[in-house]
Amino acid sequence: MNDKTIKIELCTEKKNSTEHFYSSVWLPAKDYEIMDAYHKARITTEPDVNMDVRIESCPLLPELVGTRLDSPTMEELNFLARRLGELNEDELTVLKAVKSKVLTGDEDELVSMKDLINLTYGLDKVSIISAVKNDTELGQFVIENELHPDISAIPDQSLYLINKETIGKLHRENEGGVFADGKYVLASEYELPEIYDGKRLLEEDKGLEFWYAFRLELVKEPKGNEEVQPTNDWLSLPAELGDLEAYAKKYGKKDIKDCVYLGFESAIPQIQEYHFGDMRKIHDLNVLAKMYMEMSPTDKMKFKAILEAEDVSNLEKSLRIAFRIDKYELDAQIDNPTEYFKEYSYCKIKVYKFI
């Protein structure tokens, strides 16, 4: 599933000021999306000791909003968001029924990230009765299935005298059941497992590592009225010339510029598919990707800020800016832009004209 499940807000304090910088990002997110949120909050290295993290939204588990988390790492938050997105309908129902094992509702209590992550495991082991959504229906279920010895001893012709709601409530309290999503969950069956030890997440489940600036989904060239068929075969840039030649050969072309692409993915929000256009610009895009990946964290922030401030509309101008990145001066802490500064969502930059 892996839909976006948690929206977090990042906050850092301005130097020599009581004001703050803010940014937000929906998780699970790819590494470049997280880095973009860091840049908007004026963070160039991670972790930042002055960074505060707050959960703004979590539709699947609203109780997380405003919860005080115990020193969460971005990796843990991203992993938790992925876990929530992978739960099926019944597992989500059980999660809501057993959440109090970790989320006590005490606003002053710090919630352990380790426990939150572990709360997403073992949910499939808990019993659910889908057709029961209140005490009255539970009481009916108890009677019909003879789950209480005293009730089973009552003659059938006298069962109508029994208060089903009272029986249901008594049964629910005795066995630790909870109603959630219109279902009855035997929450007492759940024991919080320790899949995550609080130190190391499974390598294959981190989902944070990336090394590309752009990705293109290459596809087979359609013939006639054929529709283009997705391949999920992604060419990551930057790439070596030999890799580009291999991809071209794979799709029966002599030159990578003759290939066809369907999907476009960018680690730089200010450079999207319309800047690229078509495969004739693949080598320019590859050069830009290499330059971007070799930039320092500060220069990456500066580069994105310039692209936004200059409202760059094509790949060629993006390349010129990358080549002349040292001609721009960045001050991420400035508060009052003058006529020499441009204001934008990352920071303020002093713009020098190209020579």
Domain ranges of the chain: 6-88, 128-189, 210-294, 295-355
Digit-coded pLDDT (tens) for 229-268: 899 999 999 999 999 999 999 999 999 999 999 999 998 9
Q: Provide the pLDDT for residue 313.
A: 84
Q: What pTM value is reported for the model? A: 0.68
List 265's β-bridge partners, or say none. Answer: 215
* Tokens 């108890």 found at: 142
Digit-coded pLDDT (tens) for 117-175: 999 999 999 999 998 999 999 988 988 887 766 666 665 655 555 778 888 898 899 89
Residue 343 has pLDDT above 60, yes or no: no
- Give the burial string for 109-136 (b: 16+ CB within 10 Å, else e): eebbbbbbbbbbbbbeebebbeebeebb
Check: CB of residue 140 under 8 Å from CB of residue 184: no
Task: Work out whether strand 111-112 and strand 69-70 pair parallel, antiparallel, or are unpaired.
Answer: parallel
CA dist., res. 58 & res. 309, Å (int): 32
CA 32 to the chain's CA centroid: 12
Element (DSSP H or E) covering residue 263: strand 260-266
Check: CB of residue 184 under 8 Å from CB of residue 176: no
